[in-house]
Amino acid sequence: HQCLAYKHAPLYHDTLLFSTCKAKNRYVSAWDTGRFDRMGLRERPQSHLALPQERNPLQAADSHKKYYIESKQKETFLMVLNIAMDGPVGAGKSSIADAVAKRLGILHLDTGAMYRAIGLTALEKGVPVQDEQAVTALCQALSMTVGHAADGQHTLVDGRDVTGFIRTPEVSMAASTVAKYAGVRAAMVALQRRLAQETPMLVDGRDIGTRVLMNAPVKIFLTASAEERARRRYQEMVNKGMDANFDDVLRDLRARDEQDMHRAVDPLRAAEDAVTVDSTNLTFDEVVEAILRIVADKTGGAWA
């Protein structure tokens, strides 16, 4: 096992990292790099995590504990905090995950965007999404990159930023279909694990707690009633000036729930050690606070 440290992603350039490591119950600021050398870490955390620029770096370094260091067989391991968040479509995962990650000063990885990018690519290349073999071959041939900039996550396929094209209803349905295929999932799970081991992040999806990050110290299952989820999605579309019909939204949402929960490979379900948060009767801020309390609780207050 190697010492894990930050690796620069291409889009991180103008961002900063402030980290505090826990070594044998001592907290060590990442600024104090000399200590890292003395602790024998081969790599040092580099400066690059997305934190709001207006924040005082030293305060941020004090209040955010990004790494856990564990001593094992005389080797020092630097471990990265990962939070797994799963739940059905429309539970507010993406925006809640964004808010929670921001409060903790860590990145948010939206894995749904990755399945969407594959769905989009299949549609654009005229590969039938129902054709498992063809979609799997397409997925194995393409190169996907995920990076984070000040305005959030960017998902790239063969170097092209597809972020602006993956939120249409057609792509949503295509994503749900391609996400059923074992070959597609294997490729995405591998990429997600690689990203999460390099950087402290909150990862949101359907199988994060049950498969991608089975050992994540914090697992959240965020849900809400189907009607409430449809109502929110409908409102969101209306607010964006889109042509929306509530019954269609509810029907699509139930169809996607059905497909996501009943597929053979890694269906959507709560991990046994996940804490369920039902947001049906909670405001946005209440959900964020509830999750932050769970994070603080599960990390012994280290990430309060």
Would you tell me which residues interact with ligand DC (CB under 6 A)? 89, 111-112, 115-116, 175-176, 179, 205-208, 256, 260
Closest distance to ligand DC from the beta carbon of 180 (Å): 8
**Between 34 and 164, whose beta carbon lies closer to ligand DC?**
164
Shortest spacing between CB 5 and ligand DC, in angstroms: 26
Q: How would you classify the pairing of strands 107-110 and 201-205? A: parallel
Neighbouring CB atoms inside 10 A of 79's CB total: 18
Phi first, then psi: give them for residue 258, nearest 5 degrees: -60, -50
Hey, what are 162's tokens?
């597809």
Nearer to ligand DC, 207 or 290 (CB): 207
| Rounded CA separation 263/118 (Å) | 18
Residue partners of 235: CB distance under 8 A and separation at least 6:
none
d(CA 285, CA 290): 8
Of 16 and 173, which has the nearer Cβ to ligand DC? 173
Q: H or E element: which one contains 63?
A: helix 57-63
Q: How far apart are CA 205 and CA 197, in angstroms?
A: 16
Q: How far is the CB of 93 from ligand DC (least distance, A)?
A: 6
Q: Which is nearer to ligand DC, 90 or 217 (CB)?
A: 90
State the minimum distance, in angstroms, from the CB of residue 189 to ligand DC: 8
Tell me how far, at minimum, the Cβ of 260 lies from ligand DC, in Å. Answer: 5
Q: At a CB cut-off of 8 Å and minimum separation 6, what does 158 contact?
A: 142, 143
Q: Which residues pair with 161 in a beta bridge?
A: 156
Structure-token pair, residue 103: 């409060």
Nearest alpha carbon to residue 224 among 248, 201, 257, 255: 257
Nearer to ligand DC, 117 or 275 (CB): 117
For 40, the token pair is 């024998």
Residues 6 or more apart whose Cβ sits within 8 Å of residue 101: 107, 108, 201, 202
Distance in Å, CB of 16 to ligand DC, minimum: 28
Cβ proximity to ligand DC: between 154 and 206 the closer is 206
Residue 45 or residue 112: which is nearer to ligand DC going by CB? 112
Neighbour tally for 10: CB within 10 Å: 10
Question: Closest separation between CB of residue 267 and ligand DC, Å?
Answer: 9
- CB 179 → ligand DC: shortest distance, Å? 3
Contact in structure between 153 and 108 (CB atoms under 8 Å): yes
Between 48 and 206, whose beta carbon lies closer to ligand DC?
A: 206
